[in-house]
């Protein structure tokens, strides 16, 4: 695991493998950004190299230069921050996160890296630390399945570099806390990424539950974990998740993960969709749509990581995470389109399409969360293809029963570098879920599919509890090349938003 520290030393004096500095896009090409603290001869050299490379200073650019005069580091990486001048000190948090993340990904194999981007205040130090940590991520395929590398006696890729954030804002309490928070949240987010990237033959409901227990007991914080197995789920009347899981040889689980500090200033609930593989069930998916469906548990991964982070940060709020884990498969016992199941709260639901399984497991999870009457509930789920159609692959959709709370969720996302957009739940769409056969059908037609899915979930929220639903079908899994601080594969989207929300509830 990457280690983060903070320093106010002169960057050129740091004896590291690589020093990261910024560049800006000016009318005359790339210029070194403020905050580098390099001696004049280093600046002259780097400017000449940037000119020769025809660097622009655009985001996504990273040039590595070795043997820079007057710099102790073996190499200097110049990372683009976008528009600015050589004197600009204030950059957006996302530009800093992405420049740091992109730069670190390009030198992940190094042992020590210092990052000297423009950081005039604690917020910008936090952004650099966050982005740098995120950029160091690598899914270590040796961990579960050694494969060829093990046969050849190869070694694992290493834990990632020790990263020193060079602070332009001193190293007072706010700066030190920002960097240590970035390390805790970053490690939790990396865990979420690992869970998402783990192949589905290794990560199924019981092994997911085992992984949670293992991580919780390895943590220095006190996190309790309890598991409902398929018998307990049937006995408890969780007909939604039982129905989804019954076509698989790997039976479903609901894992409850709690952080309950003494003197807590309230209690909140997080519910995650945890379909460890979504084949679609009998309404089987076409091959192109199925290949990424190991990531259909990304909501549960974000919830698990958030409870971990909240506990490790010692936040004075009770946080309970409900991981609704099932494998959606078309086995002989699988549920059929037109089956009617009864949910935890007694609502009967007509199944019209076995591929609309996420809302069934979440409905039960939201009932269970509501029983404890938390201050609010947030569910997070790779719920609909309609989310990707509406908002694309980088912006999540946020819905809910309370406009103020929904706005707080979107704001927490923006503050953590996770983009989302508030979507409405038009009352008129509720009629799409009417059916003569049961209390409610679980889906409407294609139009407004992200919204009707959320309207269905809203039916299971306890009276008077503010609730928000985050549809992360797009942003949870990056099928393209890595960009900025976002790796290919599992992104860990949601951890920043949820941790931010819990912190807000704690008054931080
Ligand atoms: N897991 C999928 C949604 C999804 C699609 C996530 C693409 C990530 C990327 C979900 O279970 C699903 O299959 N939804 C259906 C619902 C439909 C049958 C009402 C969909 O969106 O097509
Ligand atoms: Mn599905
Ligand atoms: Zn799904």
pLDDT, position 159: 82
- Helical axes 495-505 vs 298-312, angle rounded to 10°: 40
Query: Do 370 and 465 meet the contact criterion of CB atoms below 8 Å apart?
Result: yes
CA 314 to chain centre: 20
Pocket test residue of 294, 384, 470 for ligand 1, highest count of atoms within 8 A of CB: 384
Which tokens belong to 491?
């992104």
pLDDT tens readout for residues 259-308: 999 999 999 999 999 999 999 999 999 999 999 999 999 999 999 999 99
* Residue 149 confidence (pLDDT) above 80: no
Atom of ligand 1 nearest to the CA of 446: 19
pLDDT, position 154: 63
Nearest CA-CA partner of 116 in 188, 184, 164, 47 = 164
pLDDT band at 157 (very low <50, low <70, confident <90, very high): confident
Q: Which of 72, 285, 430, 483 is catalytic?
A: 285
**Rounded mean pLDDT of 345-358?**
98
Residue with tokens 């038009």: 426
CA of 243 to the centre of ligand 3 (A): 14
| SS3 at position 363 | helix
User: Cα(298)–Cα(477) distance, rounded to whole angstroms?
Assistant: 8
Share of the chain above pLDDT 90, in %: 95
- Told to judge if 222 belongs to the known catalytic residues of this protein, a careful annotator would answer no
User: Cα(120)–Cα(126) distance, rounded to whole angstroms?
Assistant: 11
pLDDT band at 150 (very low <50, low <70, confident <90, very high): low
pLDDT, position 142: 58
Q: Which of 25, 189, 359, 408 is catalytic?
A: 359
* Residue 146 confidence (pLDDT) above 90: no
- How would you classify residue 232: left for phi > 0, otherwise alpha for psi between -120 and 50, otherwise beta? alpha
Atom of ligand 1 nearest to the CA of 283: 18
pLDDT, position 440: 98
Nearest CA residue ID for atom 5, ligand 1: 385
- Told to judge if 235 belongs to the known catalytic residues of this protein, a careful annotator would answer no
Neighbours of 423 (CB within 10 A): 22
* Residue 25 confidence (pLDDT) above 90: yes
Residue with tokens 């110049």: 78
Residues 6+ apart with CB under 8 A from 211: 195, 203
* Ligand 1 pocket, CB under 6 A: 278, 296, 353, 355-358, 382-386, 388, 443, 449, 473
Query: Do 490 and 301 meet the contact criterion of CB atoms below 8 Å apart?
Result: yes
Which tokens belong to 213?
């227990």
Residue with tokens 């950004």: 33
* Residue 354 confidence (pLDDT) above 70: yes
**Domains of the chain from N-terminus onward:** 3-167 (3.40.220.10), 190-505 (3.40.630.10)
pLDDT, position 144: 61
Nearest CA residue ID for atom 19, ligand 1: 356
Nearest CA-CA partner of 321 in 256, 229, 241, 375 = 256
**Rounded mean pLDDT of 8-18?**
97
Which tokens belong to 46?
């780097």
Nearest CA-CA partner of 494 in 506, 476, 507 = 476
pLDDT band at 143 (very low <50, low <70, confident <90, very high): low
Ligand nearest to the CA of 280: 2
Which tokens belong to 348?
């009967």
User: Cα(4)–Cα(327) distance, rounded to whole angstroms?
Assistant: 37
Nearest CA residue ID for atom 17, ligand 1: 356
pLDDT tens readout for residues 218-248: 999 999 999 999 999 999 999 999 999 999 9
Which tokens belong to 502?
């819990």
| SS3 at position 96 | helix
pLDDT band at 141 (very low <50, low <70, confident <90, very high): confident
Residue with tokens 């030393």: 9
Nearest CA-CA partner of 311 in 364, 266, 257 = 257
pLDDT, position 158: 77
DSSP letter for each residue of 186-252: HHHHHHHHHHHHS-TTT--HHHHHHHHHHHHHHSSS--EEEEE-HHHHHHTT-HHHHHHHTTSSS--
CB burial of 385-401 (b: ≥16 within 10 Å; e: otherwise) equals: bbbbebbeeebbbbbbb
Query: Do 457 and 363 meet the contact criterion of CB atoms below 8 Å apart?
Result: yes
pLDDT band at 200 (very low <50, low <70, confident <90, very high): very high
Ligand nearest to the CA of 274: 3
Query: Do 244 and 274 meet the contact criterion of CB atoms below 8 Å apart?
Result: no
pLDDT tens readout for residues 443-459: 999 999 999 999 999 99
pLDDT, position 145: 64
Atom of ligand 1 nearest to the CA of 353: 18
Query: Do 401 and 347 meet the contact criterion of CB atoms below 8 Å apart?
Result: no
CA of 315 to the centre of ligand 2 (A): 35
């Amino acid at each position: 695991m990457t280690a983060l520290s903070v320093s106010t030393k002169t960057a050129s004096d740091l004896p590291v493998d690589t020093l990261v500095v910024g560049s800006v896009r000016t009318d005359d090409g790339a210029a070194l950004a403020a905050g580098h603290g390099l001696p004049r001869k280093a600046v002259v050299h780097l400017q000449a190299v940037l000119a020769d490379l025809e660097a622009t200073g655009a985001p996504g650019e990273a040039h590595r230069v070795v043997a820079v005069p007057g710099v102790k580091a073996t190499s200097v990486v110049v990372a683009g921050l976008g528009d600015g001048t050589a004197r600009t000190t204030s950059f957006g948090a996302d530009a800093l996160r992405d420049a740091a993340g992109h730069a670190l990904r390009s030198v992940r194999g190094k042992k020590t890296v210092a990052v000297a981007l423009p950081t005039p205040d604690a917020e910008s130090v936090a952004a650099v630390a966050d982005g740098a940590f995120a950029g160091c991520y690598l899914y270590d395929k040796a961990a579960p399945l050694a494969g060829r590398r093990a046969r050849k006696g190869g070694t694992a890729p290493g834990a990632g570099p020790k990263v020193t954030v060079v602070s332009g804002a001193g190293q007072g309490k706010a700066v030190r806390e920002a960097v240590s928070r970035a390390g805790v949240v970053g490690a939790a987010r990396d865990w979420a990424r690992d869970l998402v990237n783990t192949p589905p033959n290794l990560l199924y409901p019981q092994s997911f539950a085992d992984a949670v227990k293992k991580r919780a007991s390895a943590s220095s914080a006190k996190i309790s974990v309890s598991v409902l197995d398929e018998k307990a789920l049937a006995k408890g009347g969780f007909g939604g998740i039982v129905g989804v899981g019954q076509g698989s040889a790997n039976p479903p689980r609901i894992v409850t993960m709690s952080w309950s500090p003494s003197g807590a200033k309230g209690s909140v609930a997080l519910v995650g969709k945890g379909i460890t593989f979504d084949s679609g069930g009998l309404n089987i998916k076409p091959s192109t749509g199925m290949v990424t469906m190991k990531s259909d548990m990304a909501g549960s991964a974000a919830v698990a990581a958030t409870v971990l982070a909240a506990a490790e940060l010692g936040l004075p709020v009770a946080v309970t995470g409900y991981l609704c884990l099932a494998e959606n498969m078309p086995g002989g016992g699988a549920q059929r389109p037109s089956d009617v199941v009864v949910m935890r709260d007694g609502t009967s639901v007509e199944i019209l399409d076995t591929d609309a399984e996420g809302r069934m497991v979440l409905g039960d999870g939201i009932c269970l969360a509501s029983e404890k009457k938390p201050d609010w509930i947030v569910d997070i789920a790779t719920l609909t293809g309609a989310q990707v159609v509406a908002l694309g692959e980088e912006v999540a959709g946020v819905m809910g029963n309370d406009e103020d709370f929904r706005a707080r969720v979107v704001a927490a996302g923006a503050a953590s570098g996770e983009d989302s957009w508030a979507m409405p739940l038009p009352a008129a769409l509720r009629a799409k879920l009417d059916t003569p056969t049961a209390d409610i059908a679980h889906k409407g037609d294609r139009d407004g599919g992200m919204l009707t899915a959320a309207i269905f979930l809203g039916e299971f929220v306890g009276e008077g509890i503010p609730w928000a639903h985050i549809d992360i079908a797009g942003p949870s899994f990056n099928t393209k090349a890595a960009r900025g601080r976002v790796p290919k594969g599992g992104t860990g989207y949601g951890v920043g938003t949820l941790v931010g929300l819990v912190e807000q509830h704690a008054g931080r």
